[in-house]
Amino acid sequence: MNENLLEQLNEGQREAVTYCDGPQLVIAGAGSGKTRVLTYKIAYLLEQGMNPWNILALTFTNKAAREMKERIGRLVGQERARYLQMGTFHSVFARILRAEASTIGFQSNFTIYDQSDSRSLVKSIIKEMQLDDKVYKPASVADRISMAKNHLLLPQAYAQSAWATDDARSKRPLVKDIYIRYHERCRQANAMDFDDLLVYTFVLLKNNEDILQKYIERFQYVLVDEYQDTNYAQQSIVVLLTKTHGRVCVVGDDAQSIYSFRGANIDNILDFQKEYGGAKLSKLEQNYRSTQLIVQAANSLIRHNERQIPKDVFSENEHGERVKLKPAYSDKEEAIIVCNDIRRIRRQEQCHYSDFAILYRTNSQSRSFEEQMRKDGIPYRIYGGLSFYQRKEIKDVIAYFRVVANHDDEEALRRIINYPTRGIGNTTVDKIVEVANLHGVSLWTVISQPQLTGLNVSKATLTKLAAFQSLIAGWEQRLATEDAYELGHAIIMESGISKDIYSSSNPDDLSRQENLEEFLGGMQDFVAGRQEEDEAEHIYLPDFLQEVALLTDLDSDSGDADDKVSLMTIHAAKGLEFPTVFVVGLEENIFPSPMCTNSMRELEEERRLLYVAITRAEKHCILTCAQNRWRYGRMEYDTPSRFIRDIDPSLLQVDGGKDEVARTTVKPEYTRRPVQNPRPVATQFVADPKPRLVPIRHEAPRPQSAIGNIGLQEGNVIEHQRFGIGTVIKVEGSGENTKATVEFKNAGTKQLLLKFAKYTIVK
């Protein structure tokens, strides 16, 4: 059976499977059959006579462990596969800790806290310590404690470390005390959080030689999947279990290490051969997923990273087409280009919507694509996340808008009456609802006339309700005088939403900030578009709400429920593959993220992220970038991402000719200077901005004013700020009422009121 097993592998895979004499690092290039090698190696070990219970295989997901076990079962029989010690780091170590709980002062029936349990306990401690939860945000503090545990920093060590010094510098000096209390409370409750499962396993093995020897003897061969994603704690445990006998095989790809924000440490895989002197290096270099040109383009990109294990990934699939770059004039045209391509490829190749994926650097970028796909009737799903208009911060803002436009909107009012927190609790809301039902009036009527309706609450609560009513009424008076963007921006600022969202810099809050900025950019785009195309002088908040209501109508599914275009972040796409992949938003300030240009280490991870994105594609890989975007309260001009220049030009087909090619080779200017209010939405809340490397932002060149532009005539080619290149078909009217009908290359035919149109005449 050995020969039958090995005959199903290529030469590189066979070498990786059959080497079992010492520590081994298997570098598995994208699409090279990594899971196949792991499963066949375990089957091979069993065939060589090793007992299944002496093999430990550690994975990152339960799904990966289950699938691997099933495949091994098909190779060697389910009965033998049953006894394999296989699972996630956390599940395997939880079993060990239950067996050895008394040694570390726990009972074997300890509870495991999930993330929400951990955050809830941190929140309680912050409240007990009477700390400001706007400074000590529970989620942010919990994340800080989690990251410390991933570095095996226990409370006392943390208090003496540079981490505590950083906390003090960022005006949160008591994080160390919260950590100490949190640690004590978990022990009192006979509970461990997910990070504790790693920390206590390390402590158990490190401090108890007899127990360590027991598990070294039990786990005679250890295999680790996705080794590039391991953190310091995981790597330390693996070293403890395997350093003596050296029977360890780790599999991964340093070129796909993209999770440092979760604590993953690329040094674990890069330094494996130093940690285990004489370790065997095996390379899986044949890509079975992508065409030859896609693989070559990805290789040419990743070669620019200095810190990596050299490999030459190749494909013997069809030659295929070059990676395409399609520059756009705006994020609106970018979305139109992508949707046009989806329709074209689907028509030409008779394929399914599920064969397409749109990958972006940040969640906020989904908005323009969602809106365009709804207009075009293209079904889609947000993979591993919520649709843009279903995200909490967006729903909160829209709820405010709804109450300002219609103060009798009960659902919207209930959502915002105590957000941000203003001391109007559930008990008060229940009383308001009860009085409203009794008198058959709206909640707003009760809030506006509490004495007349007999609302029985304290004087302090009446004052808070009056302040809330006054806030809404003030915005309501501005409905007919300010456009949708002006009033919307004011509501976000004056309500306290901006202050709440910008009060922290943890990853979740950064995502919320990006979503809020994208939302404001969308509002500006809506106002400008309506003025230009619908000849409306003023666009008010109710107009925008009507548009949003249409965009959030989710009852438009048709056909196969699973036949949808996938939209997702690149991080969420790891491990997936699609016949056609669009990688969008390839501009400086977006990709690479401006937060990742501080160091070469961070920048190289951003390049690896693009490598992961490109290698998701089987047949077609299309990159896009936009010249103009509404950002930070104005239309901005951005240069294409530096990473585009890293791809071998002979492997990149640029749409549109020489002008666009020139745009992609512009080298962005960089300077070290303080950030000057990079986000106007939160300007008043940004304290003590630290100097860091940031790209110089270029505001979009101002197109010539169209008013009085009598030179515009049929046949002219114009460059429009939002729709790109177009040919003028007809000009009619005069003065301020002059209109032009333009056939755009990607956006189709548009009628523009020249009074508001933003364009320049090309010829």
CB-CB contact of 5 with 75 (8 Å): yes
Q: Is 663 a catalytic residue?
A: no
Which helix H or strand E contains 216, and what residues bound it?
Answer: helix 209-218
CB-CB contact of 14 with 43 (8 Å): no
Residue 348: how many CB atoms within 10 A of its CB?
Answer: 8
d(Cα 39, Cα 168) in Å, to the nearest integer?
A: 48
If you search the block for the tokens 């890293």, which residue do you land on?
646
Beta bridge partners of 625: 327
Tell the burial category of 480 from Cβ atoms under 10 Å away from its Cβ (0-12, 13-18, 19+): exposed
Catalytic residue from among 34, 149, 629, 631: 34
d(Cα 757, Cα 763) in Å, to the nearest integer?
A: 17
> CA-CA distances (angstroms) from residue 413 to 181, 444, 719?
38, 8, 44
Identity of residue 90: H
| 700-729 CB burial, b ≥16 within 10 A, e <16 | beebeebeeeeebeeebebbbbbbbbbbbe
Q: What are phi and psi of 302, to 5 degrees?
A: -75, -20
Q: Which of 112, 182, 113 is nearest to 141 (CA)?
A: 182
Q: What is the DSSP letter of 591?
A: S
Q: Which of 444, 455, 441, 439 is nearest to 408 (CA)?
A: 444
Q: How far apart are the first and last CA of the chain?
A: 73
Q: Is 616 a catalytic residue?
A: yes
Q: Is 225 a catalytic residue?
A: yes
CB-CB contact of 464 with 424 (8 Å): yes
- 3-class state of residue 578 by DSSP: strand
Going by C-beta distance under 8 Å and a sequence separation of 6 or more, which residues neighbour residue 445?
408, 436, 439, 453
CB-CB contact of 28 with 253 (8 Å): yes
Going by C-beta distance under 8 Å and a sequence separation of 6 or more, which residues neighbour residue 392?
512
Catalytic residue from among 256, 372, 569, 639: 256
Identity of residue 426: N
Residue 730: how many CB atoms within 10 A of its CB?
Answer: 12
Query: Angle, to 10 degrees, between the axis of helix 162-169 and the axis of helix 175-188?
Result: 120
Q: Which of 499, 489, 473 is nearest to 405 (CA)?
A: 473
Going by C-beta distance under 8 Å and a sequence separation of 6 or more, which residues neighbour residue 90?
194, 197, 198
| 216-229 CB burial, b ≥16 within 10 A, e <16 | beebbbbbbbbbbb
- Tell me, rounded to whole angstroms, the distance of Cα 20 from its chain centroid: 39
Work out the angle at residue 643's Cα, subtended by the Cα atoms of residues 147 and 698, and round it to the nearest 5 degrees: 95
- Tell me, rounded to whole angstroms, the distance of Cα 430 from its chain centroid: 37
Catalytic residue from among 35, 469, 683, 727: 35
Q: Is 35 a catalytic residue?
A: yes
- Tell me, rounded to whole angstroms, the distance of Cα 187 from its chain centroid: 34
CB-CB contact of 574 with 612 (8 Å): yes
Catalytic residue from among 607, 616, 722, 745: 616
d(Cα 140, Cα 146) in Å, to the nearest integer?
A: 10
d(Cα 257, Cα 348) in Å, to the nearest integer?
A: 36
> CA-CA distances (angstroms) from residue 577 to 353, 354, 614?
14, 11, 10
Which helix H or strand E contains 330, and what residues bound it?
Answer: strand 323-330
Q: Which are the catalytic amino acids?
A: 34-35, 225-226, 256, 616
